């Protein structure tokens, strides 16, 4: 008899985004003539920049010649990409790493989901609430939580509520935790963190021998020059943090797939008897065992994001999405909505009007004006009463969606 991993049965219904797609599909089948505008999942809509496509094509052509063909590559990533990352994402911000502290992968969803495997099942986990659901669900699957209660919280998971009341700034956990997931600029609230506030988390982690799992997938959208793009811009982070980065939103790689995680050599975990173990080496062991590397053409395409032309094109795409974000934010504010985020992140987080629940507002928007967003409660109990709009749509669709929301009868 094949006994299943019963932790999976603790998971709530479906994963958030497929659940939304299911509802939208049903509505669209019942109302085939209605045009639906999707500002739900944070999926990019602009095509890949041309210099990046050129690199992809050139690398594919290389693969067709006997001299240029490549089989298995280095699991951690080709050195041309590792070096481009070090130079542009870190050295340019006075942060120095060596290439063996970077691990290239096929996405931050996989990285942030898989990382928990190298930690004990007894680890105490803290998540901000609302939160990117992958952090929670993968810990549920692994068995680090109990069941979810009627308040929507899993037992044994420490939730750090973020709401307009605390300015979306989570308090430090009341009890000691081993792992803390932080994401800035934040998905879903679009809010940010300063270096001073990050330092408070870093000090907490030092004091408690905790590790911060820092998701910086949206750092490229930061407009405010004072905000940190990397946790490693803050003193003391190398001993207590790792950082997840992605080309998905930055350069339009949601369908192309390339990301990386930075794990400093200084970062240590402990055995049950207190012996220090390098997290970098543990992850390297896991990565090289379970992953055969991102394909050569995709890594060439990722490296092209750092060329002069690539940087220009990527910056133009980000400007396009941030102009959408600004339009959504200012328009909704002028319609009387309470709106957060959208200034340094491609997400707009709004308070649902008239105390509607997140899913009630989702249904209302879909059925009355055919705009799709993401219900805040899908990101955690503290997301109830909030709603997320993504700025990744086309400019035309964003303008049309705003017009429609303006006419929504509340
Ligand atoms: C989101 O909409 O939150 C993101 O697209 C999810 C993801 O990056 O996996």
Q: Is the CB of 109 under 6 A from ligand 1?
A: yes
Centre of ligand 1 to C-alpha 10, Å, is 22
Q: Give the SS3 label for residue 391.
A: coil
Radius of gyration of the chain (CA): 21
Q: Residue 291: is its pLDDT beyond 90?
A: yes
Centre of ligand 1 to C-alpha 365, Å, is 20
pLDDT of residue 18: 86
Centre of ligand 1 to C-alpha 43, Å, is 7
pLDDT of residue 183: 98
- Taking the CA of residue 43 as reference, the ligand 1 atom at the shortest distance is 5
Q: Residue 118: is its pLDDT beyond 80?
A: yes
Centre of ligand 1 to C-alpha 109, Å, is 8
For 130-186, the pLDDT digits (tens) are: 999 999 999 999 999 999 998 889 999 999 999 999 999 999 999 999 999 999 999
Q: Residue 410: is its pLDDT beyond 90?
A: no
Centre of ligand 1 to C-alpha 64, Å, is 34
Domains of the chain, residue spans? 14-47+309-406, 53-307
Structural tokens at position 216:
């910086």
**What mean pLDDT, rounded, does the chain reach?**
97
pLDDT of residue 15: 74
Q: Which CATH number fits domain 14-47+309-406: 3.30.9.10, 3.40.50.10300, 3.30.590.10, 3.90.1150.10?
A: 3.90.1150.10
Q: Residue 13: is its pLDDT beyond 80?
A: no
Residues 9-25: what's their mean pLDDT?
Answer: 87
Q: Which CATH number fits domain 53-307: 3.40.50.150, 3.40.50.1370, 3.40.640.10, 3.40.190.10?
A: 3.40.640.10
16: confidence class by pLDDT, cuts 50, 70, 90: confident
Q: How far apart are CA 20 and CA 378, in angstroms?
A: 10
CA torsion, ordered 398, 46, 191, 348, to nearest 10 deg: 20
Q: Are 207 and 154 in contact (CB under 8 A)?
A: no
For 361-399, the pLDDT digits (tens) are: 999 999 999 999 999 999 999 999 999 999 999 999 999
Best residue among 18, 42, 258 to mutate for probing ligand 1, ranked by most atoms within 8 Å of CB: 42
Residues 20-31: what's their mean pLDDT?
Answer: 94
Best residue among 19, 21, 41 to mutate for probing ligand 1, ranked by most atoms within 8 Å of CB: 41
Residue nearest to atom 9 of ligand 1 (CA): 109
pLDDT of residue 17: 86
Q: Is the CB of 42 under 6 A from ligand 1?
A: yes
């Amino acid at each position: 008899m094949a006994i299943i991993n019963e932790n999976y049965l603790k998971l709530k219904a479906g994963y958030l985004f497929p659940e939304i797609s299911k509802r939208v599909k049903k509505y669209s089948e019942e109302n085939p003539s209605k045009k639906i505008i999707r500002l739900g999942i944070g999926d990019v809509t602009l095509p890949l920049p041309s210099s990046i496509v050129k690199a992809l094509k050139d690398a594919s052509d290389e693969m067709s010649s006997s001299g240029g063909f490549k089989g298995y590559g280095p699991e951690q990533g080709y050195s041309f990409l590792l070096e481009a990352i070090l130079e542009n994402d870190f050295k340019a911000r006075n942060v120095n790493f060596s290439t063996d502290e970077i691990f290239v992968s096929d996405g931050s969803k996989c990285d942030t989901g898989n990382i928990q495997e190298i930690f004990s099942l007894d680890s105490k986990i803290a998540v901000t609430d609302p939160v990117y659901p992958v952090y929670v669900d993968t810990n549920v699957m692994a068995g680090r939580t109990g069941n979810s209660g009627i308040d929507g919280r899993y037992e044994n998971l420490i939730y750090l509520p973020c709401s307009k009341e605390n300015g979306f700034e989570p308090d430090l956990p009341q009890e000691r935790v081993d792992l803390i997931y932080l994401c800035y600029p934040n998905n879903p609230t679009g809010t940010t963190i300063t270096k001073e506030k990050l330092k408070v988390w870093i000090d907490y982690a030092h004091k408690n021998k905790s590790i911060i799992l820092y998701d910086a997938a949206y750092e490229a959208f930061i407009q405010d020059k004072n905000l940190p793009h990397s946790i490693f811009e803050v003193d003391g982070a190398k001993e207590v943090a790792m950082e997840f980065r992605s080309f998905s939103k930055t350069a339009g790689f949601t369908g192309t797939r390339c990301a990386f995680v930075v794990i400093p050599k200084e970062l240590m975990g402990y055995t049950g008897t207190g012996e220090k173990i390098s997290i970098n080496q543990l992850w390297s062991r896991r990565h090289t065992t379970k992953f055969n590397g991102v394909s050569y053409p995709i890594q060439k395409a990722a490296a092209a994001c750092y060329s002069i032309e690539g940087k220009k094109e990527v910056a133009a795409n980000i400007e396009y999405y941030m102009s959408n974000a600004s339009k959504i934010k200012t328009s909704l504010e002028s319609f009387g909505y309470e709106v957060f985020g959208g200034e340094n992140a491609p997400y707009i987080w709004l308070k649902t009007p008239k105390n509607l629940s997140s899913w009630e507002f989702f249904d209302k928007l879909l059925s009355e004006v055919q705009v799709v967003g993401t219900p805040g409660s899908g990101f955690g109990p503290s997301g109830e009463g909030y709603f997320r709009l993504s700025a990744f749509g086309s400019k035309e669709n964003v303008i049309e969606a705003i017009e429609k929301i303006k006419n929504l009868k509340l």
